[in-house]
Amino acid sequence: MSTKLSDIGEFGLIERLTKDIKIKNPSTLTGVGDDAAIIDYKDKVAVVSTDMLTEGIHFNLMYVPLKHLGYKSVVVNLSDIYAMNAIPKQITVNIAVSSKFSLQAIEELYSGIHLACKYYNVDLVGGDTTSSMTGLVISITALGEAAKEDIVYRGGANETDLLCVTGDLGGAYMGLQLLERENEVFKVNKQMQPQLSGYDYILERQLKPEARKDAVEIFKKLGIKPTSMIDISDGLSSEILHLCKTSGLGCDLYEDKIPMDKQTKAMAEELNINPIVAALNGGEDYELLFTIPLSGHEKVKNDPDITIIGHMVKKENGANLVTTGGSSIPLQAQGWNPLKK
């Protein structure tokens, strides 16, 4: 049975969504249930980031399950905290919903939010709910902590630093292309079953991505501290250009070093898309792009989850993609732009 949100009201909805919350972090003194949360980081600095996801712009509910959407909406915020070399501890969740959503639908969304909080050991400490005339809007703020000396900014890279990335790239974009293709087929023929078999990895990269919560520990284990870092949400090109601009440098990115999964390449071939384009401009991979001193080469070269993809150069040399053929092409920020028409 479907329950209308208007039948239980805002306070009833909040009570339903928050009744099972249990505090996990000692820094959370007071969470949901008062006018404001109380956070105590003692001798550490607070790290805060926020993101908003809008139906029809950031997600399509024709093929995005609400539980996955809730999970992903948390992950995209936590990724920003990890990109500062910090540990997320709390989130607040704000949602605007239209009358087309039932109580059960919103509970499904929140089941994904709670699952992400459990996996990443994060407390949900507050938020707001309101109505929307058009659809679903989710805005999440993430709070984290770190020792002041551990924080990594975008602007700390030095000339000759190695440019590195965790994991592989382009998978989320190719997963999106697959979902969009099957959605278009469904619009024409609603009897057609989606052809998704064999592509579990890239579908998960799009629908249920993970933030690199292991990165902080990996860096400590390897005995390195990145000189600059950013998460890859808008595409590798855009993120490299952010690092270059903020650090006042250029870079050489090597095409043959960009890590991609076999499913990403296979889907790109099926759709006649250059997989390098997916990696450079696709976005939503939520891997970490970072720089380390040249002296750290021996420490990272054998790590299975870190790939050296280039190095930083003088600003006047620009940011360039060095192709497998040896030519040099200027990088362009062609990734996700929420304000592009």
Using one digit for the tens of pLDDT, what is the confidence trace for 271-312?
Answer: 999 999 999 999 999 999 999 999 999 999 999 999 999 999
Task: Provide the residue range defining the domain that includes 87.
Answer: 5-150
Residue 156 lies in a domain: no
pLDDT of residue 340: 54
Give the pLDDT band of residue 191 (cuts 50, 70, 90).
low
Q: Report how far residue 261's alpha carbon sits from residue 266's, in angstroms, rounded to the nearest whole number.
A: 9
Task: Report whether 70 contacts 109 (CB < 8 A).
Answer: yes
Share the mean pLDDT of the chain: 89
Please check whether residues 143 and 50 belong to one and the same domain.
yes
Please check whether residues 114 and 70 belong to one and the same domain.
yes
Please check whether residues 141 and 15 belong to one and the same domain.
yes
Task: Report whether 31 contacts 77 (CB < 8 A).
Answer: no
pTM value? 0.89
CATH of the domain at 114: 3.30.1330.10
pLDDT of residue 245: 94
Q: Is the pLDDT of residue 8 over 70?
A: no
Residue 338 lies in a domain: no
Please check whether residues 143 and 266 belong to one and the same domain.
no
Residue 341 lies in a domain: no
Residue 75 lies in a domain: yes
Residue 173 lies in a domain: yes
Please check whether residues 64 and 143 belong to one and the same domain.
yes
Please check whether residues 166 and 294 belong to one and the same domain.
yes
Q: End of a domain among 150, 184, 203?
A: 150
Give the pLDDT band of residue 339 (cuts 50, 70, 90).
very low
Number of structural domains (the chain) is 2
Residue 11 lies in a domain: yes
How would you write 108-173 as a 3-class SS string?
HHHHHHHHHHHHHCCEEEEEEEEECCCCCEEEEEEEEEECHHHCCCCCCCCCCCEEEEECCCCHHH
Which residues, listed in sequence order, are joined to residue 289 by a DSSP beta bridge?
165, 230
Task: Report whether 240 contacts 228 (CB < 8 A).
Answer: no
Q: End of a domain among 101, 126, 150?
A: 150
**E strand or H helix at 82:** helix 66-82
Q: Is the pLDDT of residue 336 over 50?
A: no
Q: End of a domain among 130, 150, 170?
A: 150
CATH of the domain at 232: 3.90.650.10
Residue, of 32 and 284, whose pLDDT is higher: 284
Please check whether residues 174 and 320 belong to one and the same domain.
yes
Please check whether residues 139 and 181 belong to one and the same domain.
no
> What's the pLDDT tens digit per position in 118-131?
999 999 998 888 88
Which residues, listed in sequence order, are joined to residue 30 by a DSSP beta bridge?
38
Residue 176 lies in a domain: yes
Q: Is the pLDDT of residue 151 over 80?
A: yes
Which amino acid appears at position 68 of this protein?
H
Please check whether residues 187 and 307 belong to one and the same domain.
yes
Give the pLDDT band of residue 76 (cuts 50, 70, 90).
very high
Residue, of 197 and 194, whose pLDDT is higher: 197
Instruction: Please report how the helices 200-207 and 262-270 are oriented relative to each other, as an axis angle in degrees rounded to 10.
Output: 100
Q: Is the pLDDT of residue 17 over 70?
A: no
Closest CA relative to residue 13, chosen from 90, 107, 94 = 107
Q: Is the pLDDT of residue 35 over 60?
A: no
pLDDT of residue 39: 74
Please check whether residues 205 and 325 belong to one and the same domain.
yes
Please check whether residues 174 and 318 belong to one and the same domain.
yes
Residue 340 lies in a domain: no
pLDDT of residue 34: 52
Residue, of 32 and 314, whose pLDDT is higher: 314
Task: Report whether 229 contacts 286 (CB < 8 A).
Answer: no
Q: Is the pLDDT of residue 194 over 90?
A: no
Residue, of 48 and 337, whose pLDDT is higher: 48
Please check whether residues 112 and 23 belong to one and the same domain.
yes
